[in-house]
A and B are shown apart, each in its own frame.
Chain A
């Protein structure tokens, strides 16, 4: 029985195991699709209307090609919302109706393709599966009397918005185009940046119903061989009805599904994608979502922002260090405060301690409950700011924070020090360039607070130790998540804690780029032009 279904699966163009689950009876949706086209137009049209009997937006237009005795009946079929009228008119209808004389041996698909149809993308199909799939994807189907093939002409209406600005990853200086919901546009943005035939683009499709187009892109020779095969293997394992966003795919191909950290990075910036592909990473570009997925990704990579490479390296290094510190503040801020206030008063200088204690005098809640309350209020505000229509969003969240912060202090619910800590933590969280990383940090703050409240700094240490173990064990497509730090790769520190000048970045990151380690020549550091008789000549002579 099983080989039969596998064979059937091959016939209907689906994967064998899905078809093995059920067998189609006459009348089932999809039953007709198993068959091949006939050469009678009326019969074909009947089958087609049967396949699309639930779709009122299917348009069938019958026309006649040629004149006099030679004339041939034909039909044009399409789904109304998906096609582009002007293209349909200009290139298809007009050229078909303009045909005066048909060739001697009778009409053939080949003749139509070569002589009549002026469209870029035309394909001929013999099976109903392919035909209905093409119509569903916005192709115009042309059926002819006496021809057991259908011609599918792609005249797809662009339903995507134009290329816009990145919403989640803004930079000060640098390109400001972002991916959109159309995979062709996205690939165009990428190809424009990497105009080379080494840029491999592999077509993949996920989702039985949505048939989401996913393009696996990488630079041949730069990427490690195993990586591409591994990504494809993981995508192949996905058997699902539909994919509507890149986040779903991310969760389905991760190394460590239970981790609070994401091991793929979503980005909507083509420049970031291009730079990462140049470092030997691979990416998935999606149809219907502006977020591409980068892999493998490390913690250090999620601290990098494209801006770092567009600004001067001194400033970028400073900002990079600042971001690491912010990461620690975002993670440990409230729990450190709780630990110090609850257990280790002596750590604070006396005068500061006095003022904090005086401010806390009327507060009815212990520090932990106070911190928890304020953190939760902040998270609620943030979420509300995100959900609100954009016009209100920011205003309301800021006003809400100030009003609630202020009144909470006045009402004696929270101490001013607590408000400072919470707002500092919140601001620090926003400095993390990767939104998914920031979200992981947000979540982890709460268990750390519990440990700090129970055992003070020691509890915090133990919780942090568990967290470090977890981070050390995490891998993203085989690359350790903490990679240039642990395991330590000394040469990669140049782009981790600081951002070394561009002329120093001779080698690609070791764990992703070892297929072709050298990025640039040595000694491209700019130097002033040589003037005779000046000291610079001497220096050069020595070399």
Chain B
């Protein structure tokens, strides 16, 4: 295996939560509220988590058959050498692309929210330096770093909930399901690929030191990710109603700006954004690590660190060329990604699982 690190199930759980949520609650609510209105909390939680559950089950079922290898390493065993290698290369590219999108989400957010004079590309470059270093050090270090970052990151959300609580108007959330279930479903579909990022399990599973805990971890993860986004969406609607946030670029950021306590603790949104960005860095690091491992295992290299620098260049380039502006990014996130994400996160792994079952590849039901 390319990275000999081992992570515990708690570390995996924290990683999955941050991987899923770090960017989702910035970009997700606007789109969900545009479609689902005041019921958007239902779409970001239940609908998206149902998709997440499907993805997690497929990924774990597949990963259990090859519990000591990463996804790209066992693809050739399932599909045969050449098609397997091609798909593995494609997945390496997918991970690189995801990293670019995540990094771009972070830099776009900072650029739009407050560092307006700094080009996003500069932010991308300095962020990727931090990411590269962590990727070099391996998955164990990333998991530990996450244990340090996680309390900071969750604290920012807790602070917002507590301090914005007095502004919440519960009547904004009524009436419930006014327009039926369809808008909620549509809004949920836009959020699905965010939740589906849990397909990173395909690359993280081999590092888990107690493989039988994977299902439980995924369960806790989905539970957390059903409650937290619902709370965020409900708070946004509760504070702003269902019309205003549909026009806001980052409603969660506006929520942070809304905080004012005793005329002293106000305008602290920058601090909160910084805490969020700590989460984005971790998320980008996890995907970058997977991209590096995927590329190295596809090319049959002895260590994955070699691939880090080329991938870093590719990531910055993709981020700059394809998603130069906020509009390009949201266009991708809500018009293309629902299809593309559905394919790479659920469809392809499911088909491969099916093939593996039919061709009887990999150990059966091994923990």
Contacts and interface: CB of A to CB of B under 8 A. Distances in A.
B277 A461 contact: yes
B144 A480 contact: yes
Interface in A445-484: 455-463, 465-466, 468-470, 472-473, 480, 482
Contact of A469 (B10, B123, B137, B266): B137
A347 B11 CA distance: 33
Interface residues of B, number: 34
Interface string B2-21: 00000010110000000000
Given A480-B144, A485-B147, A488-B10, A349 B126 contact: no
Contacts of B126: 455, 458-459, 462
A457 B270 contact: yes
Given A458-B115, A458-B274, A472-B145, A465 B130 contact: yes
Interface string A421-451: 0000000000000000000000000000000
Contacts of B115: 343, 455-456, 458
A347 B271 contact: yes
A455 B118 contact: yes
Contact of A482 (B127, B144, B267): B144
Nearest to A344: B270
A486 B140 CA distance: 10
B130 A466 contact: yes
Contacts of B215: none
Interface in A337-384: 343-344, 346-347, 349
Contact of B130 (A344, A346, A462, A482): A462
Contacts of B118: 455
Given A472-B141, A488-B10, A457 B148 contact: no
A487 interface: yes
Contacts of A468: 145, 148-149
B176 interface: no
A487 B147 contact: yes
B133 interface: yes
Contacts of B147: 485-488
B328 interface: no
Interface in A75-125: none
B129 A466 contact: yes
Contacts of A456: 115
A462 B127 contact: yes
B352 interface: no
A458 B118 CA distance: 11
A456 B277 CA distance: 13
Contacts of A465: 130, 134, 145, 149, 278, 281
Given A458-B123, A469-B145, A349 B263 contact: yes
Contacts of A461: 274, 277-278, 281
A537 B166 CA distance: 49
B11 A469 contact: no
Q: What is the predominant secondary structure among interface residues of chain B facing chain A?
A: helix
Nearest to B281: A465
A383 to B, nearest CB: 31
Contact of A485 (B142, B148, B281): B148
Contacts of A462: 126-127, 129-130, 281
Q: How large is the interface on A (under 10, 10 to 19, 20 to 34, 35 or more residues)?
A: 20 to 34
Contacts of B281: 461-462, 465
B256 interface: no
A356 B126 CA distance: 30
B270 A347 contact: yes
A337 to B, nearest CB: 14
Considering residues A344, A456, A486, which has the most beta carbons from chain B within 10 angstroms of its beta carbon?
A: A486
A347 B8 CA distance: 38
B110 interface: yes
Contacts of A343: 115
A469 B270 contact: no
Contact of B110 (A347, A349, A458, A460): A458
Interface in B110-143: 110, 115, 118, 123, 126-127, 129-130, 133-134, 137-138, 141-143
A466 B267 contact: no
B254 to A, nearest CB: 15
Interface in A488-533: 488
Contact of B144 (A344, A466, A472): A472
Considering residues B123, B137, B142, B270, which has the most beta carbons from chain A within 10 angstroms of its beta carbon?
A: B270
Given A461-B278, A469-B133, A486 B268 contact: no
Contacts of B123: 455, 458
Contacts of A482: 144, 148
A350 to B, nearest CB: 9
B3 to A, nearest CB: 13
Contacts of A466: 129-130, 133-134
A339 to B, nearest CB: 9
Given A455-B118, A462-B126, A469-B130, A486 B148 contact: yes
B8 A487 contact: yes
A323 B144 CA distance: 22
Contacts of B267: 346-347
B144 A487 contact: yes
A456 B110 CA distance: 12
A528 to B, nearest CB: 39
A480 B277 CA distance: 25
Nearest to A480: B144
A458 B148 contact: no
Contacts of B145: 465, 468-469, 472, 486
A488 B7 CA distance: 11
A418 to B, nearest CB: 21
Contacts of B148: 468, 472, 482, 485-486
Given A457-B271, A488-B147, A469 B141 contact: yes
B22 to A, nearest CB: 13
A473 B130 contact: no
A421 B227 CA distance: 41
Given A462-B130, A485-B148, A349 B278 contact: no
A293 B233 CA distance: 54
A254 B311 CA distance: 32
Contacts of A487: 8, 11, 143-144, 147
Contacts of B137: 469-470, 472-473
Nearest to A474: B141
Contacts of B263: 349
A449 to B, nearest CB: 16
A461 B270 CA distance: 12
A349 B11 contact: no
Nearest to B146: A486
A456 B122 CA distance: 13
A59 B8 CA distance: 68
A458 B129 CA distance: 13
A470 B144 CA distance: 11
A457 B8 CA distance: 32
A343 B127 CA distance: 18
A45 B143 CA distance: 69
A466 B8 CA distance: 22
A305 to B, nearest CB: 23
A486 B142 CA distance: 10
A514 B133 CA distance: 32
13 contacts: A346-B267, A455-B118, A455-B123, A456-B115, A458-B110, A458-B126, A459-B126, A469-B137, A470-B137, A472-B137, A472-B148, A473-B137, A487-B143
Given A462-B281, A487-B147, 7 more contacts: A347-B267, A347-B271, A455-B115, A473-B141, A485-B148, A487-B143, A488-B147
**Which 4 interchain pairs have the tightest Cβ spacing?**
A486-B144, A486-B147, A472-B144, A469-B134
Interface of B: 8, 10-11, 110, 115, 118, 123, 126-127, 129-130, 133-134, 137-138, 141-145, 147-149, 263-264, 266-268, 270-271, 274, 277-278, 281
